[in-house]
Amino acid sequence: MKRPPDPRPRLVASSSHPGLAPRTRPAPPPVGFRYYDLGNAPAEQPRDLASERRSRREREGVEGNARLTGSTAALLVVLLAAEGVTILQIRPMLSAHVFIGMLLVPPVLLKMGSTMWRFARYYRGAPEYRRKGPPPALLRLLGPVVVVLTVVVFASGILLLLGPVSMRSQLLFLHKASFVLWLGALAVHVLGHIVDTARLAPRDLYYRTRRQVRGAGVRQWTIATSLVLGVLLGIVVVPHVGSWVFVGKIG
């Protein structure tokens, strides 16, 4: 009967010193030898920790920008709804209309800034922003139109109160006409982003999700600061409403 092979490792004697005790440790690999795994692939190289940290910061920057945009957009929807109520009875609510309009200015600028930041980073080829991708084509084309009309509506409204009296008729027409166009473009813009806004706006408020991306406190304080600045603007500008009430140039 054939004897089965012995599973124990065989002792190999040293060739250079026969008199020494046998050894079982294998000889070191020759120079230039590389280990290969079972799939004949090279051994995994050490990870680049600096590159990983940089990539993580870029991903958090994209998500943080999206959260800031969504939170600011949700705030603007509430303020714009309140402004719309004042339009229904503009004569008795003119002071409220002006105050809310001034309150809207800093958050509107903040929303424009966060959106333009994403726009600039995407078209400059930032990898994480490119990976996130642009908005749908219709919203991308509509975005500049919304920005221009927003600037015209707010600028004409401010000039109506602070500009020369001789130009009030022209400015009032511009304010009303641009508002009608702006309202239509804004409705499409809001409906196109309503899902993302509802998803992103609460993430810096909930304890579980606010810890996922650093900077939640900074983003919340930024929005709060824009509101404080808006209140101060309203306090400064509302006293000028008296001249409009006196001359009856409303409605």
pLDDT tens digits for the chain (251 residues)?
Answer: 556 655 555 554 444 555 555 555 555 555 554 544 545 555 555 556 766 777 777 888 889 999 999 999 999 999 999 999 999 988 889 999 999 999 999 999 999 999 999 999 988 888 888 888 888 888 889 999 999 999 999 999 999 888 888 888 899 999 999 999 999 999 999 999 999 999 999 999 888 888 888 899 999 999 999 999 999 999 999 998 876 654 444 44
Beta bridge partners of 42: 36
Q: In the chain, count H helices and then E strands.
A: 8, 0
Helix, strand, coil share (%) of the chain residues, nearest 5: 70, 0, 25
Question: What is the C-alpha separation between 84 and 86, in angstroms, rounded?
Answer: 5
Rounded Cα gap, residues 165 and 151, in angstroms: 21
Q: Which amino acid is at 209?
A: T
pTM for this structure?
0.75
DSSP result, 193-219: HHHHHHHHGGGGTSHHHHTTSTTHHHH
Q: How far apart are CA 52 and CA 77, in angstroms?
A: 38
DSSP code at position 31: T
User: Residue 121 has what DSSP assignment?
Assistant: H
